[in-house]
Amino acid sequence: MNLNSKSISKSIKTEALRLGFSSCGIAKAEFLEEEATRLEQWLENDYQGKMHYMENHFEKRLDPTKLVPEAKSVISLQYNYFPSELQRSDSYQISKYAYGEDYHHIIKDKLYQLFQFIKDNIGEINGRVFVDSAPVMERTWAKKSGLGWIGKHSLLISKQKGSFFFLAEIILDLKLEYDQEFKTDHCGNCTSCIDACPTEAILPNSTIDGSKCISYFTIELKDEIPSSVKGKFEDWMFGCDICQDVCPWNRFSVAHLEPKFNPQADLLNMSKKDWEEITEDAFKKVFKKSAVKRTNYKGLRRNISFLK
């Protein structure tokens, strides 16, 4: 590794922190051989449910050079979204990541700034930025970049920060200094997330049966929610944070510093009755730029009716 690559890698990490990312790691862009078998088995077991997009782009998910020709490096980044205030506990709940504005736009803008910083310092390079919007195995790359380990709930966990953060990547055709993969599993014998999951979606070996997850039912599934899970959602109307809320490592979570992730006051204070009576205009106001719009007004009404 020459000094140039080392200094460039250090400057990228410094700039990432300046832009608001909480961590940055770099891995060598290579075929994810171990993940190929796991992904194939996961799909064969129909754990994707009706998320048919998961069946597409198999090779792209495993090989970064299919996304960026001659890719050399994968830069992985974490962006904290843990809120300083929560919804009232006696209300229908939405996942904390959706409290404020849609994270895709906010983080992608910062990724473009970081990518431009690299080009300004290196010259013309090829690359792409990703925020949960393409077939990238983000948790695997974050682990390979040394940012944490994959917990039993299948999410990346950091010893210092817990798991309430978004993951994002820049794949580029520039050789950098690579971090050591995080190989220690600090979950140990803890089964808090498995025990707490009301729909038994968390399986052994850090595997999620996506077709049983509350987030799947309340966001991804466009059909009627099956009666077999009636009474098992514990008031979650959009997404679910149960497995993260019970994780001991999240006692280290600290409030984010991103103003755009702050919710409208209306959202935190709404009661169950308020949600049950919400109009389409009120929905558009509360979730003006939110990821909750993904389920749309009719979808949220469906979820609330299912919880009643």
Query: Catalytic positions, please?
Result: 132
Q: CA 199, CA 202: separation in Å to the nearest integer?
A: 8
Q: CA 285, CA 17: separation in Å to the nearest integer?
A: 32
Instruction: Give the CA count within 13 Å in the CB-facing half-sphere of 191.
Output: 8
CA distances 46 to 8, 22, 49, 220, 227, Å, are 43, 35, 6, 15, 20
Q: Amino acid identity of 254? A: V
* Residue 251 backbone dihedrals phi, psi, to 5 degrees: -70, -15
Q: CA 302, CA 304: separation in Å to the nearest integer?
A: 6
Contacts of 13 (CB under 8 A, 6+ apart): 24
